[in-house]
């Protein structure tokens, strides 16, 4: 069902750790399947300098979060705000379908909320 790359990222995730010196973070939860994660961001010159995450969930949500940490680095906060489900599907190279799209986009939603909190001075 899942591409080999998704399984590889799920089994060996990149940037899965709590970032103690994060500029902001956001925790989110998918009540449909129980996926939960926290996204941490470090911002420099309005660009994502570093992103990490912690959490538990299905292969697609954890792999998407891991892949997103690599994709987000170097992007401006404005670029992050403009990303949508199509960007996630392109990133993971699999159409998760209507049921699993919430799993695939959970990390993006959390990242966008962390960016919003950062830009507006609100803390999680």
Q: Which domains does the chain possess?
A: 4-120 (3.90.1010.10)
Strands (E), the chain: 24-30, 35-44, 47-56
| 124 has pLDDT over 50 | no
Partner residues linked to 24 by β-bridges: 41
- Residues 67 and 83 sit within 8 Å (Cβ to Cβ): no
Confidence of residue 42 (pLDDT cuts 50, 70, 90): very high
Q: What is the pLDDT of residues 78-97, one digit of tens each?
A: 999 999 999 999 999 988 88
What phi-psi label fits residue 46: left (phi over 0), alpha (psi between -120 and 50 degrees) or beta?
left
Phi, psi of 36 (to 5 degrees): -145, 145
Q: What is the pLDDT of residues 103-113, one digit of tens each?
A: 999 999 999 99
């Amino acid at each position: 069902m899942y591409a080999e790359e998704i399984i590889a990222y799920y089994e060996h995730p990149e940037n899965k750790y709590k970032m103690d010196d994060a500029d902001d973070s956001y925790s989110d939860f998918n009540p449909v399947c129980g996926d939960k994660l926290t996204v941490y961001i470090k911002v420099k010159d309005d660009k994502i300098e570093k992103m990490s995450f912690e959490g538990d969930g299905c292969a697609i949500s954890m792999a998407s979060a891991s892949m997103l940490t690599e994709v987000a680095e170097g992007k401006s906060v404005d670029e992050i705000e403009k990303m949508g489900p199509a960007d996630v599907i392109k990133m993971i190279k699999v159409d998760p379908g209507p049921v699993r799209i919430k799993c695939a986009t959970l990390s993006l939603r959390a990242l966008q909320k962390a960016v919003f909190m950062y830009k507006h001075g609100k803390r999680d």
